[in-house]
Structure 1
């Protein structure tokens, strides 16, 4: 059966989706041929790009463990959550406290449909279809405001999300500012973002190749940022250390609170996305 016949109402199977490309790279099956084409084109310029998706997924697990067990956060908004897969945010944080509340957000109707089906029996977790580049569509959403207590700390996750933009390069900073302004003291924001090493290295060549392949694949364009530019997305928040006895800075995802010593030098695929986690005083 063709993708066009399989596609739910409101979904154009000839337009790729970041969530479905990511799903394909993680070995999932909830994607269309156009998504696979984008992934294959990206793999042509960087053969191990699936590793980039995997290390970001592992990063999500470590961030959620840190926030749930060390920071004691009991409310989460996962922006650009993507297709449900093994070990989603709620499954990690609800081990710390089964009543932890999670709101997943994605603009893709396919993702929203799968998410709602998965979470149908979890009363502390909600899934809304909205575009995080339009913060009021989330911050003023009835489900969000009924589900979360804005007087208590909330963690907002933007993992491999904010670099999927078109047009206004300043938009991601405007988006994070709106979220940060609404968050109460003690809240956290986590951002992982395609990194511009700004040094003409093979990392930069790989990133540029990915940007071009995405641009040619009928998906929202992506952009890279330097570490300093990624840090600016946190505005006045306080970056937390990237590990025990480590400085508070933007680092490659494999270096943020790793589960153990790195087994060799990080590869290009493991270096081209950087991350920071910060707290609102």
Structure 2
């Protein structure tokens, strides 16, 4: 992987990050005590969080494999990709297509540092540090243009990330992305939702404070459904919009959530 010259930005280990908290829930080691403390505090109030994170990762693997195997997709842009772990998007896709091309996008500097180190020998993969809302920067970035051919279908992934941005941004972001994709491309979206207003308020306030305001909001199912209400999107139905462990389940055994205070909710749509 070749990219722009860079030096690792400063990382504050005392402020939890969503990427590092997710890494901890998945059993990773790229996290700090502040991340682990925030995870423990969240688990006290929402005990299903770890199972939710693990099921979400299985969903990511299944959806990438499905798009590569069944839809012939060979290009992926993973928005809010988080820290590298086992079975990343490029590993799943490249098991199907050797030359599948992947752009990882995250605004956490530790993701950039770890990602570039781990992907340095993969010429079909790159990591960009950017705000996922900055579609122009992401799509027009020299590394993206080197990796992705936008005259061909691309899968844009927003897996468990839209709850990290404020209310006005998700729909605007989706419109911008869809406008840049050719017909036959795909959009993958899931985010944290809850039917319980107390859970929505607690988690939203807790994460906003813990991450120094790098958070959006836990939402409701109908709000996620609205992301797909675009004239150029056709939702794959079945399975439609579901809790992610129910999206085309296969041999990946879902971990039963011990409770349902919240869940990851979403689906896949094709650009037409």
Q: How high is the TM-score relative to the length of structure 1?
A: 0.87
Residue 277 in structure 1 maps to residue 268 in structure 2:
yes
- Is 1:250 the counterpart of 2:241? The answer is yes
1:172-211 equivalence runs, <5 A: 172-197=170-195, 200=196, 205-211=198-204
CA 1:15/1:265 → structure 2, altered by over 3 Å: closer, same or farther? closer
Hey, what does 1:72 align to over in structure 2? 72
* Aligned residues of 1:51 and 1:269 also touching (Cα < 8 A): no
Aligned pair 1:170/2:168, yes or no? yes
Q: How many residues align?
A: 262
Give CA-to-partner distance per residue, 1:35-86, whole Å, 9 cap, x none: 1222111111022311111000000011011100001101000000001001
Is the 1:207–1:272 contact (alpha carbons within 8 Å) kept by the matching residues of 2? no
RMSD (Å), alpha carbons: 2.1
1:227 to 211, 221, 224: 221
1:213, 1:55 → 2: CA distance?
Answer: 22
Q: Does the 8 Å contact 2:130/2:137 carry over to 1?
A: yes
Q: How does 1:41-56 map to 2 (within 5 A)?
A: 41-56=41-56
Q: Which residue of 2 aligns with 1:212?
A: 205
Q: CA deviation at 1:215?
A: 2.5
Moved more, 94-103 or 232-241: 232-241
Aligned-residue offset at 1:165: 1.6
C-alpha separation in 1, matches of 2:100 and 2:252 = 31
2:236 aligned partner: 240
1:5 match: none
Any residues of structure 2 matched to 1:23-34 within 5 Å, and which?
23-34=23-34
The alpha-carbon deviation at position 32 of structure 1 amounts to 1.6
Return closer, same or farther for 1:135/1:277 CA change in 2, 3 Å cut-off: same
Instruction: Specify every segment of 5 or more residues in structure 2 that has no aligned partner in the other structure, as ranges.
Output: 1-7
Say which is worse superposed, 40-49 or 57-66, in terms of deviation.
40-49
Q: What is the TM-score normalised by the length of structure 2? A: 0.89
